A = this chain, B = another copy of it.
Amino acid sequence: MTQNLVTAAVLVIGDEILSGRTKDKNIGAIASRCSDIGIDLREVRIVPDDEMEIVAALDALRSRYTYVFTTGGIGPTHDDITADSVAKAFGVGISEDPRAIALLLERIKPEDLNEARRRMARIPHGAELVENSVSKAPGFWIGNVIVMAGVPAVMNAMLDAVTPQLTSGAKTISRGVAAGTLPEGAYASALGEIALRFPDLSIGSYPSFRDGAFHNEIVVRGKDPLAVEQAAEQVADMVVKSSLDRR
């Protein structure tokens, strides 16, 4: 399904990200996937394993964007409180879901299905399950909120599982123009003029720093392929001209 503007937010849940112990890899993966399928990722939040914080963030985000992707907090341990927090945010009950139990039993022997593991089958009422091809314990999808695991391998498997069901929007096309070590300050004014000519495009200048020097890339993004190509051409011409001006 395609509609014109589809937006999303990511909500990362986990003390381990905020403490710096674990470096998040999921935000970038979800951001890239959204770009690939024409969903505009508009906001990301990272909150601790705290029910009030999770519910507040969920409510702020789900009322504002087409989709909210959450990662983290759906394992079997006491600090995994995402499912209960999502149920609370939606004002629905939560209990062991027979479909989830059946999935767990594909990986876990019946005699090993203890109370802790059964926690992974607690699903808010009314949610659809999200397949986990790595380790079976499912994510779920309720309203416009898609709840996924925090372990990147599992998150990616769940993201693959939900992608075909997402409404995709008009795809954003992106063209990069390398500016090499030409300083941003040498082309910023000319670039600003091009940006004014294309108000519907997003034109950004992105420096990176390596070997003691800045290397810049200018990226043109937008929904209209022709406008993106035209702007990228003007940027490329401008970079050549700015380089010559500096000789």
A residues sitting closer than 8 Å to B (CB atoms) are: 12, 14-24, 27-35, 41-49, 53, 75-79, 108, 112, 114-117, 119-120, 134-135, 151-154, 172, 174, 184-189, 191-192, 195-196, 202-209, 214, 219, 221
Contacts and interface: CB of A to CB of B under 8 A. Distances in A.
Contacts of A21: 35, 174, 206, 219
A184 B191 CA distance: 53
B31 A18 contact: yes
Contacts of A79: 195, 202-205
A195 B79 CA distance: 9
B18 A42 contact: yes
A210 to B, nearest CB: 8
Contact of A76 (B119, B185, B196): B185
13 contacts: A16-B204, A16-B219, A17-B31, A18-B41, A19-B41, A43-B48, A78-B203, A108-B185, A114-B189, A116-B184, A116-B189, A120-B185, A135-B209
A124 B195 CA distance: 25
B45 A188 contact: no
B28 A24 contact: yes
A169 to B, nearest CB: 14
A207 B16 CA distance: 11
Q: How many copies does the complex hold?
A: 2
B77 A192 contact: yes
Contacts of A41: 18-20
A27 B24 contact: yes
Contact of A28 (B20, B43, B203): B20
A107 to B, nearest CB: 10
B43 A185 contact: no
